[in-house]
């Protein structure tokens, strides 16, 4: 459970890094003319959206409550 709490607290750091990795993969597949580029760019946009939502909904203050509610832990 502590791993989930830590992952949620530090989500913007690793979420933004995943977005950068997917963006770079998208650029790589774009040079190769592969259709996989669209999936990679979409994943990067989704991760950036999640990071933005985390900041908008104040995940730094509420992430522990979200995990407790989702897993029904008191």
Q: Which residues contact 4 (CB under 8 A, 6 or more apart)?
A: 67, 71
For the chain, the domains span: 2-71
pLDDT at 9 (0 to 100): 87
pLDDT at 60 (0 to 100): 82
Q: At 19, list the tokens.
A: 């977005």
Q: At 5, list the tokens.
A: 């709490």
Q: What is the pLDDT of residues 21-67, one digit of tens each?
A: 999 999 999 999 999 999 999 999 999 999 999 999 998 888 888 88
What pTM value is reported for the model?
Answer: 0.81
Instruction: Look at the alpha carbons of 22, 28, 31, 33 in this order and tell me if their dihedral is positive or negative.
Output: negative
Nearest to 37 by CA among 52, 27, 47: 27
């Amino acid at each position: 459970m502590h791993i989930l709490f830590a992952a949620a607290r530090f989500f913007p750091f690793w979420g933004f890094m995943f977005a950068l990795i997917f963006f770079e993969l998208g650029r790589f597949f774009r040079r190769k003319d592969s259709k996989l580029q669209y999936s990679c760019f979409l994943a990067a946009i989704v991760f950036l959206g999640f990071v933005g939502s985390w900041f908008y909904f104040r995940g730094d203050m509420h992430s522990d409550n979200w995990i407790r509610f989702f897993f029904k832990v008191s």
